[in-house]
Amino acid sequence: MKIEEYCQQATQQELIDLFADLSKALLKQRSKVLKSSQRELTTKVGSKKQMDTLYANSFNDIRVYNTLLADLKILVKYMI
């Protein structure tokens, strides 16, 4: 895991800066997740390809959100 290796070698200030960056990225990604999920629910689907595209976008947004959240959890563990 790259985040763990970085946290082991980083100074306290670098950890604090990374925390701020990850927190901001997590909030932006949460808004993307909400928008893509809402779009998936409210769009009138004309074809299976369109539904697959909406689902894939929503899935990828959620995957990125979960990755950021996991990284943030690891970072907090090293900050404590």
> How do the pLDDT tens digits run along the chain, 80 residues long?
689 999 899 899 999 999 999 999 999 999 999 999 999 889 888 889 999 999 999 999 999 999 999 999 999 998 88
Range of the domain at 45: 2-79
- With a CB cutoff of 8 Å and minimum separation 6, the contacts of 15 are 7, 75, 78, 79
Number of domains in the chain: 1
Q: Is the pTM of this model over 0.75?
A: yes
10 Å CB burial of residue 75 (0-12, 13-18, 19+) is buried
Residue spans of beta strands (DSSP E) within 1-80: none
